[in-house]
Structure 1
Amino acid sequence: MCRIVAYLGPPLTLSRLLHDAPHGLTDQSRNARLMHDSSVAGDGWGVGWFGPDEGAGPGLLKSILPLWSDENGKTMPHAIASGSIVGHVRYAAPNVETCFTNTPLFVMDGLLWTVNGAIEPWPGPISRALRGLLDSDHEADLRGSTDGEMLGALWRTNFRRAGGSDAAGAIRATLRQARDVVREHRGTIMINLLLVGRGRGVAVRYAESGEPNTLFTCKGEGRWQGGTLVASEPLDDEPGWDEVGPQGLVRFDGSGVEVEPLGLDEIEADSEVRAQAGSANGHGARASGS
């Protein structure tokens, strides 16, 4: 599995998250403590950030090299500071190519998107079924073959269909659709994700069965200039890190976090109630007009 981190708050250099923290992403990429199936995430890395221009989209650096040996990864993060940062080190699934287009992060509708986890089996019937749920232009925008990019494209489709105002609701819809497809094809899904814009973000810790990948929050600590972090595992051994419970959704900004149940089954039940109500209303209209 991969390792991910987001920071929102007063500007920090990217290197604070990647290199300078005692257990930053560079250390996690070769000495992860809480990954399910490995302690090394050396199949590439990515970091994204929002700069001072309020009208500009995010900047993005990524590479297929391990973060610990990439010269650009060692030097450039010291020169870039931001108050909205997302980082990722990759542990690639066995059947998915290690190449630039498959390397997180991804920019989705001007926001930074990344995923830690896996849908299995992948690729195959599940990936084809999810592709079939995309709007045609979002399908055309796909460049790689990862489950993370596919889920991001499906989020874009759901976000637009819902009016483009509820990012968390579109995440819930996306994960419910993915879960249903996975169930149909007797697969597995274990997904943590980050969706981050300028000054605010959403994170999820989710698995259809079993224990999800770990996810932690840290807020208001002086060593992080009072900002907020969300990460696969703590970046240091100091106090202030809280683990997000399984099936949790986190809304966060530079001043703190709000954790709530992901509630995919509640969404499903609500959809069924609305469908039944619509069907009843339809029958009633025909009856009154006969």
Structure 2
Amino acid sequence: MCRHVALLGPAEPLAAALVAPPHALYQQSWAPRHQRHGTVNADGFGVGWYAEGDPVPARYRRAGPIWADPGFADLARVVRAGALLAAVRDATVPSADGEAAAAPFADGPWLFSHNGAVTGWPHSLAPLAAALPADEVLSLAARNDSALVWALILHRLRAGDTPGQALADAVYDVAGAAPGSRLNLLLTDGAAVAATAWGDTLWYLHDQGRRAVVASEPYDDDPRWQEVPDRTLLVATRADVTLTPLKEPPS
């Protein structure tokens, strides 16, 4: 379920990455090539981007399919950014949260997306939720698994964890509490991207010093795309990409 992409590179219209490529996120909403779970991502979408000189990203999210929103087409045509995170959503269960349930979730400089599903939701993660401060649970953006996973990660970021460590520890805890979960996570502050491959596909394209793209699947047929092995943490900047195996929780 779901497809997402994060990009760091030269400033260009959002459409250059999200609409124009032959297999862009826009097309992946109805015709993904590598999606293992679900087929149509029509239960909401969102894009967050960073304007030059402003560390806090803007967001545009809707509860419906990306192809049915003419406002997005106009926005993507004229808004330029050198860093973004966007996602199209295939919901796991019915929800009344509307666009609040659509990624990217945000706080301060951070944008976050979850491609996957937590098994046994919500009961499986009740112990992890109970360990969070009450105000953080009450401030959840939506009542779905992705919003709680984001709360777990944000709690670690606020405590001083690096983005990679925050993702790795959250995956370890959630996978331990809910075995069989799919936890492909994507996090950016506009300068770096951290991501996990855990149960679904993840790819990256790196043009050293110029561009780094991390996505559920390639948006074109450039031969430089590389697939990330399952159970791997990726951290990318425009300068380099680092891959680190993720620790498995006890069975």
Question: For this structure pair, what is the TM-score category when the shorter chain's length is used for normalisation?
Answer: over 0.9
Letter in 2 for 1:155: I
CA distance in 1, matches of 2:137, 2:215: 29
Residue 157 in structure 1 maps to residue 149 in structure 2: no
Task: Check the 8 A contact 2:168/2:196 in 1, yes or no.
Answer: no
| 1:220 pairs with 2:207 | yes
Is 1:166 paired with 2:162? yes
Name 1:39's counterpart in structure 2.
39
2:177 pairs with 1:193: no
Matched, 1:50 2:44: no
* SS, match of residue 20 in structure 1: coil
> In the aligned structure 1, how far is the partner of 2:221 from the partner of 2:39?
18
Q: 1:166 to 1:226 in 2, by over 3 A?
A: closer
TM-score computed with the length of structure 1 as normaliser? 0.81
Q: Which runs of 5+ in 1 are unaligned?
A: 207-211, 269-290
> Is 1:130 matched with 2:109?
no
Matched, 1:261 2:209: no
Tell me, yes or no, if the aligned pair for 1:205 and 1:214 is still in contact at 8 Å: yes
User: Retained in 2: the 8 A contact 1:126–1:181?
Assistant: yes
Report the structure, 1 or 2, having the larger helix content: 1
2:167–2:195 CA contact under 8 A, matched in 1: no
* 1:265-276 mapped onto 2 (5 Å cutoff): 265=249
Secondary structure (helix, strand or coil) at the match of 2:241 reads strand
1:45–1:88 CA contact under 8 A, matched in 2: yes
Query: What stretches of structure 2 of length at least 5 have no aligned partner?
Result: none
How many angstroms apart in 2 are the aligned matches of 1:57 and 1:174? 23
Distance 1:103 1:191 in 2: 16
Displacement of 1:216 after TM fit? 0.4
Give the alignment of 1:102-117 within 5 angstroms.
102-117=101-116
SS in 2 for 1:40: coil
Amino acid at match of 2:165: G
Residues 109/137 of structure 1: CA separation in 2 closer, same or farther (3 Å cut) = farther
Q: Deviations over 1:65-124 (max 9, x none)?
A: 21111111111111111111111000011344461211111003430000000002223x
In structure 2, what is the Cα distance between the partners aligned to 1:47 and 1:177? 28
Question: Are the equivalent residues in 2 in contact too, given 1:95–1:122 (CA < 8 A)?
Answer: no
8 A Cα contact 1:9 1:255, kept in partner: no
Q: Find the aligned partners of 2:222 and 2:177 in 1 and give their Cα distance.
A: 41
Q: What is the Cα deviation at residue 196 of structure 1?
A: 0.3
> CA separation in 2, counterparts of 1:22 and 1:13?
16
Q: 1: CA distance between counterparts of 2:85 and 2:154?
A: 19
Establish whether residue 181 from structure 1 lines up as the match of residue 177 from structure 2: yes
Q: Judge conservation of contact 1:172–1:264 (CA < 8 Å) in 2.
A: no
Distance 1:121 1:96 in 2: 16
Which runs of structure 1 show a deviation greater than 6 angstroms over 4 or more consecutive aligned residues? none
How much does 1:226 deviate? Answer: 3.8
Aligned with 1:26: secondary structure?
A: helix
Q: Residues 189, 96 of structure 1: CA spacing in aligned structure 2 closer, same or farther, 3 A cutoff? A: farther
1:43 shift after superposition: 0.9
**Greater C-alpha radius of gyration:** 1
CA distance in 2, matches of 1:119, 1:260: 23
Alignment TM-score, normalising by the size of structure 2: 0.93
Preserved CA contact (<8 Å) 1:43 1:98: no
CA contact (8 A) 1:44 1:63 kept: yes
**Worse-superposed segment, 93-102 or 14-23:** 93-102
Match of 1:78 in 2: 77
Question: Which of these residues, 248, 254, 264, is aligned with residue 232 of structure 2?
Answer: 248
C-alpha RMSD of matched pairs (Å): 1.9
**Counterpart for residue 231 of structure 1:** 215
Q: Is the 8 A contact 2:2 2:88 kept in 1?
A: yes
Residue of structure 1 equivalent to 2:195: 203
Tell me which residue corresponds to 1:141: 139
Aligned-pair identity (%): 28
| Aligned mates of 2:173, 2:74 — CA distance in 1 | 41
